[in-house]
Amino acid sequence: MIRVDVTTDELSLALAGLGEAYSDLTELMQTIGDDMVNSTEENFKEGRDPDGTPWAPRSPVTLAQYAARGEKPKGGPLVGVSKALSSTISYEARSDGVEWGSNMIYAAVMQFGAKQGAFGARIGKDKNGRDYFMTMPWGDIPARPFLGIGTEDEKAILEAIEDYLKDAAQPGAQ
């Protein structure tokens, strides 16, 4: 067996920097989190999923509901009047990963879709005292994925990792 000992200060510093970089990836995860939030916000602007597939348009029934309330949505199918879903995308970075998404209660339904009645029904009286029965949701909601990693996102993540490791391997960079 051959053994080689490397004792140059520059290489030792570079290896030490890589060791530190691998022990806590929070900085890298923050970069990835920023990139994914920006990408997700772009999905909302473009009305598409992370791979570029356009979201299903609003149904005529949904458009009629907006009109009945005197509201006009400003944007793609997932951008309602309040823009709550599209404006609540955030991330949480840890030393070993990153998660991003929305804290809106209906975010999962928008991401994965739901069949009419999937969440039961509401029964009650309207403002005129009439009984009503309404399934939840009142109609089928198609999946409109807004979260995920598309081809361009994957490239950006790989570039972020490469840049992070290059910086970590440079002596004195930290």
Residue 2 lies in a domain: no
Residue 3 lies in a domain: no
- Stated as kind and residue range, the H or E segment containing 91 is strand 89-93
What phi and psi values does residue 51 have, to the nearest 5 degrees?
-90, 0
Give the pair of three-digit tokens for residue 19: 């060791």
Residue 130 lies in a domain: yes
Whole domain around residue 148: which residue ranges? 9-169
- 13 vs 77, which has greater pLDDT? 77
Number of domains in the chain: 1
Residue 4 lies in a domain: no
Separation CA 148–CA 128 (nearest Å): 44
Separation CA 46–CA 76 (nearest Å): 7
Residue 14 lies in a domain: yes
Long-range contacts of 70-75 (CB under 8 A, 24+ apart): 75/44, 75/45, 75/47
* Contact criterion met (CB below 8 Å) for 100 and 40: yes
Mean pLDDT across the chain, nearest whole number? 86
pLDDT at 139 over 90: no
pLDDT at 13 over 80: no
* Contact criterion met (CB below 8 Å) for 90 and 100: yes
pTM, 2 dp: 0.78
Residue 1 lies in a domain: no
* Contact criterion met (CB below 8 Å) for 47 and 76: yes
Task: Provide the percentage of residues in the chain whose pLDDT is more than 70.
Answer: 86
Separation CA 98–CA 32 (nearest Å): 7
pLDDT at 127 over 70: yes
